[in-house]
Structure 1
Amino acid sequence: MHCFKEKICLIQIATDKEAHLIDPFEIKAAPFFIRVLESSDVMTVFHGADFDIRTLDREYQARVKNLFDTEIACRFLGVRERGLGALLKKHFNVDANKKFQAFQCGCQ
């Protein structure tokens, strides 16, 4: 059972040159980040975006535009193993460590 409703505890963003991790509890960059998500000029790539989009809407009232969901793309392509971990392993030989994926960062 969750002690609180889900919260965004870490934001990962990247370009073709850089990658960044954002701690939403420590910075006040939400307005800039939301402008990026809502920009039609920026391609936003998610994997299994439905939960993230709902949470971004609830916490930041963000309306993500120009979204590409790799999980949905896999469905269209008929990929059987569509999980992010399986895709990272198959295409990049990367083992995704999801040890902290369900970490209760919001519990006090």
Structure 2
Amino acid sequence: MTTRTAIFKYIEDNFGVTPEFPFKKYPRYTALKNRHGKWFGLVMNVPAQKLGLSGTTDLEILDIKVDPEFGELLRSKSGFLPAYHMNKEHWLSMVLDKATDEALLFQLLDDSYNLVINN
């Protein structure tokens, strides 16, 4: 399972940035920002029903910016959902659980970082 710690280490090692915790009401919500302060990711724990899923447990998710066409393709796969609290065309939520493909997650973080840098 890809953990928050692995994500935070990856962004620090690859982009030279550290996670930020901007929400006092939601202390586990973690913003991933580039050096210019633009968000390229957000790690959250959200109740399943708020994501349109059944159950009452909180799910750990990562919101990332994606190319709209690629995002549409990914949303057809298990573990990918329309973005929670972000633009649903340009952002995607990825459920972080034991089925998470860590290599794909890191590639999506790279893509999200680059999309934000280039906009």
**Which category of TM-score, normalised to the shorter sequence, fits these structures?**
under 0.3
Compare CA radii of gyration and give the structure with the larger one.
1
Query: Relative to total residues, which structure has the larger strand share, 1 or 2?
Result: 2
TM-score, normalization: structure 1?
0.27
